[in-house]
């Protein structure tokens, strides 16, 4: 497949939104069509990330968590996490949501929706990294770390070559009782048709957005949290409403939430 000039390439957030809606932006049209063509079940996998995020937010707010970190939120139609948090809490209850994103389009969306809201902050991880953004928010007194924080990583780890670095770097800034949630595409059996399809999806994502797709086994995913308490994990095979799973071939994912077992030493 021909790939557009780099100046016309879509962002990963644009492709993600186009996969969910089926109505991509002009720059994301070819990427979305290519991914849907090789793996029709992948859009459901993308859409299901938000469903699990919302489930985690609901559980966290019920347990008393009021501080959230959201890594790489999406474009519409994905709901913004602070709206989900606000709706999950009693009217007037305070909360804080720190968004961390390197996507200019997502930051523009946040600026339009959140400017003037004291409960919301957004930072670009370029240079400082995700952990640097969390530390900056702490220094700015956006929120302290005297109470648990819920880190919503979404699918960040499945697009990271060294996911353990993301987890380890955040460890020191999270107090006892903090949580981290992820959604990770599960690696199919080697040399299977499913593996070939996901490999094609990965090639398309890199070609169009420079974003890799790195499926991992359940065992390898859980091993990343060897020093955490895994609170909940389950396999899911997402299907969009109206889809026939025999036709769309659902892409299995593992949804996992883990909790820190030690307080930060800083």
Tens of pLDDT along 121-170? 999 999 899 999 999 998 888 987 788 999 999 999 999 999 999 998 88
Instruction: Tell which residue, 168, 175, 148, 150, has the closest CA to residue 71.
Output: 150
pLDDT of residue 246: 74
Residue 252 is inside which H or E element, if any? Answer: none
pLDDT at 2: 52
Q: 263 and 229 in contact (C-beta within 8 Å)?
A: no
HEC readout, 114-170: HCCCCCEEEECCCCCHHHHHHHHHHHCCCCCCCCCEEEEEECHHHHCCCHHHHHHHH
Instruction: Look at residue 266 and tell me whether its pLDDT is greater than 50.
Output: no
What would the pLDDT profile of 61-76 be if each residue is shown by its tens digit? 999 999 999 999 999 9
Euclidean distance between CA atoms 72 and 69, whole angstroms: 10
Distances (CA, A) of 32 to 28, 40, 255: 6, 10, 24
Q: Does domain 6-259 have CATH number 3.40.50.1110?
A: no
Length of the chain: 266
| Whole-angstrom distance, CA of residue 103 vs CA of residue 81 | 16
| pLDDT given for residue 265 in this prediction | 41
pLDDT in tens, 37-48: 999 999 999 999
Tens digit of pLDDT for each residue in 1-35? 455 555 578 999 999 999 999 999 999 999 999 99
Q: In which band, very low, low, confident or very high, does the pLDDT at 245 lie, cut at 50, 70 and 90? A: confident
Q: Distance between CA atoms of 172 and 219, rounded to whole angstroms?
A: 24
What are the boundaries of each domain within the chain?
6-259
Indicate the average pLDDT of the chain.
92
pLDDT of residue 1: 47
């Amino acid at each position: 497949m021909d790939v557009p000039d780099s100046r016309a390439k879509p962002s990963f957030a644009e492709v993600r939104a186009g996969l969910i809606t089926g109505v991509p932006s002009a720059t994301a049209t070819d990427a979305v069509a290519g991914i849907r063509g090789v793996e029709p079940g992948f859009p459901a996998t993308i859409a299901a990330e938000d469903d699990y995020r919302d489930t985690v937010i609901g559980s966290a707010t019920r347990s008393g968590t009021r501080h959230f970190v959201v890594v790489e939120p999406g474009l519409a139609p994905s709901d913004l996490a602070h709206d989900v948090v606000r709706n999950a809490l009693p009217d007037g209850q305070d909360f804080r949501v720190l968004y961390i994103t390197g996507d200019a389009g997502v930051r523009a969306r946040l600026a339009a929706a959140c400017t003037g809201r004291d409960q919301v902050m957004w930072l670009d991880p370029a240079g400082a990294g995700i952990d640097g953004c969390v530390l900056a928010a702490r220094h700015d007194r956006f929120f302290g770390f005297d109470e648990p924080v819920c880190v919503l990583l979404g699918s960040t780890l499945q697009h990271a070559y060294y996911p353990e670095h993301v987890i380890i770097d955040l460890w020191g800034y999270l107090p006892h009782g903090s949580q981290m949630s992820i959604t990770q595409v599960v690696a199919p059996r080697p040399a299977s048709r499913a593996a070939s399809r996901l490999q094609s999806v990965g090639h398309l994502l890199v070609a169009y957005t420079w974003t890799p797709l790195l499926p991992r086994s359940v065992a390898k995913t859980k091993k990343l949290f060897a020093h955490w308490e895994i609170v909940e994990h389950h396999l899911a095979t997402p299907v969009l409403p109206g889809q026939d799973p025999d036709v769309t071939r659902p892409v299995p994912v593992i949804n996992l939430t883990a909790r820190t077992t030690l307080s930060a030493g800083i």
